[in-house]
């Protein structure tokens, strides 16, 4: 029984290892484009499902796979605006200006399954309240490079936590990129037994929650 994490994200690796699981990393390479007005939870689940299909094709007998996708969304009068990963410094600055002084949603879709085991999925949602960010702070943050590879252009687990006033809903681990309790629960559901003990340990130390 082997677990495959289909993600190149060091943050997801750290969170999953911190839950006590051992795994092999095999990143899934898929098209992550989606209509920018898609509701965040639906977008995260759709892209996670794409990653799962790519991952499932390479699983050997006895292997289980875990994929995740995190998106940031801002609800506007006309609907949702999605923020994926910035494609450069100017794009990162643009995202931070748009998210400054807002209450926005971070959604992570998680999909798991195994060789010959059907996929199950779920999504976690965390509302992030961000204070107004001064132009000089945005410039300094973009210069730091922390925005690279981060949905919404910021990393709450690094120095961007100083911009965040409050979190509502699911835990900070969801904002970082992997709602651990949700991931463990789904893995247990599809028969990856090491996740069940890990979930009990996670509950006992009050880890972040994920919602189905």
Task: Cite the active site residues.
Answer: 69
3-state secondary structure of 81: strand
Interatomic CA distance for residues 20 and 37, integer angstroms: 37
* Cβ count near 26 (within 10 Å): 16
Cβ contacts of residue 52 below 8 Å, gap of 6+?
6, 28, 65, 67, 111, 112, 113, 119, 121
3-state secondary structure of 190: coil
Cβ–Cβ < 8 Å for 127, 170: no
Cβ contacts of residue 197 below 8 Å, gap of 6+?
20
């Amino acid at each position: 029984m082997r677990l495959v994490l289909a993600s190149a994200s060091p943050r997801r690796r750290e969170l999953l290892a911190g839950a006590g699981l051992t795994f092999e990393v095999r990143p899934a390479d898929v098209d992550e484009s989606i209509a920018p007005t898609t509701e965040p939870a639906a977008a995260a689940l759709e892209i996670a499902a794409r990653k799962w299909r790519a991952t499932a094709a390479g699983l050997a007998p006895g292997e289980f796979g875990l994929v995740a996708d995190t998106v940031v969304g801002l609800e506007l009068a006309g609907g949702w605006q999605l923020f994926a990963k910035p494609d450069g410094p100017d794009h990162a600055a643009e995202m931070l200006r748009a998210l400054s002084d807002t209450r926005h949603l971070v959604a992570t879709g998680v999909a798991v399954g195994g060789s010959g085991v059907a996929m199950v999925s779920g999504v976690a949602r965390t509302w992030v309240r961000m204070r107004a960010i001064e132009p000089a702070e945005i410039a300094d943050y973009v210069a730091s490079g922390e925005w690279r590879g981060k949905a919404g252009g910021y990393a709450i687990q690094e120095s961007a936590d100083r911009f965040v006033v409050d979190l509502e809903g699911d835990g900070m681990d969801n904002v970082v990129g992997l709602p651990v309790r949700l991931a463990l629960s789904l893995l247990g559901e599809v028969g990856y037994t090491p996740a069940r003990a890990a979930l009990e340990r996670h509950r006992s130390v009050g880890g972040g929650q994920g919602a189905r």
